[in-house]
Amino acid sequence: MRLLIFGLGYTASHVAAALPNARIAATGSNGDLSFHDGERVRFEIANATHILSSVPPDDQTDPVLAAYGEALSESGAWLGYLSSTGVYGDSAGAWVDEQAPIGQGRRGARAAADRAWLGLGARVFRLPGIYGPGRSPLDRIRAGEARRIDVPGQVFSRIHVSDIARGVIAALDAPAGAYNLADDEPAPQSEVVAFGCRLLGLPVPPLVPLDQADLSPASLAFYSENRRVANGKAQRVMGWRPLYPDYRFGLRALNAMTRPIPASSAPAPASSDQR
C-alpha cells in the first residue's frame, strides 16, 4: 500500500498508525510533504494506491480539491475523506442515516466538500464528536475545564478515534459512498461529563443553563443542533462494529491507559548495563 494523507493531524495519525506496513506520505504538521510543493504532491497522487484527506474546508472551499482535484480524479486510487455529521444539521433529536439530506445546517462548506468527494468516488466518513487519548472529557476534567451545560433534550453522538481508524481500514474493501462512523448511544454532554467525574473520583460540576454559560458563538452553534447518528450502514456494508459502543466503554478504556501501575505489579528496574 502506498498511502497519501492530506492533513496528518490527530485522527489521520491514528489511521496511519493502524497501517504499519503501508508506505505513507503526508502533508500537515506531522507529515513529510509540503502541501504547496505541487510537483511532489502530484507525483505522490499519481503513485498512490490509496489517498485519504482529513482537511476541512477553508471558508467556502476545500483546499485539497481546489489545488489537486483534477489529479485526484485521474489517479485511479482508492479515495477517502473524513467529513462531519454536522452536514446533517439539526434533526430535533431524530436519528439520521446516510439517506438524510445534507447541507441544511451551519456546515454548508463541509456539505459541499462532502458532495464533491462523493462525486470523485470516495468513501466519505461522516464523523460526530471525536475523542481519544489526550483529547477527551477526562482531560478537560483533570484540567478543571469541564462544564455541564443544561440543554434539556439535547444529545449528540461521538466516536473514539480508534474506531475511526478501524472504520477506514474496513472501508478499504468497501464500495464508494457515505458512511456514518458513530457509537451506538447518543447522549447529553452533561451526562458524559458527570460520568467522567465519577470515574476519576472528582466532584461533578453543577448544571449551567445555556443562557448563563457565556459560550463562544461556535459553542452556541453546537448546542443549537440536536441529532442521533445511525451507524447501521457501516455495520451492514463494511462489517464494522465500534470497539467502544458508548462513552462509558471509551472513557473507562482511556482512564485505564493513564492509571498508574501498582508498585507490586511494576516491572523491576533495569540494571545499569541494559538499554
Under CATH, what is the fold of the domain 77-258? Rossmann fold (3.40.50)
- pLDDT tens across 143-189, in order? 999 999 999 999 999 999 999 999 999 999 999 999 999 999 999 99
Dig out the grid coordinates for 25 from the structure.
Answer: 506520505
- pLDDT tens across 102-156, in order? 997 777 899 999 999 999 999 999 999 999 999 999 999 999 999 999 999 999 9
- pLDDT tens across 15-74, in order? 999 999 999 999 998 899 999 999 999 999 999 999 999 999 998 899 999 999 999 999
Q: How confident is the model at residue 259 (pLDDT cuts 50, 70, 90)?
A: low
Mean pLDDT computed over 7-11: 97
pLDDT at residue 258 above 90?
no
pLDDT score recorded for residue 59: 80
pLDDT score recorded for residue 260: 56
Please report the DSSP string for 188-220 in residue order.
Answer: -HHHHHHHHHHHHT-PPPPEEEGGGS---HHHH
Dig out the grid coordinates for 240 from the structure.
Answer: 464494522
- How far apart are alpha carbons 81 and 181 in whole angstroms? 12
Q: What is the pTM of this model?
A: 0.92
Indicate the range of 42-56, 210-224, 246-260 predicted with least confidence.
210-224
- For residue 152, which phi and psi values (nearest 5 degrees)? -55, 130
- 63-77 in b/e form (b: 16+ CB < 10 A) is bbbebbeebbeebeb
pLDDT at residue 89 above 90?
yes
| Mean per-residue pLDDT of the chain | 92
pLDDT at residue 261 above 60?
no
Domain boundaries, the chain: 77-258
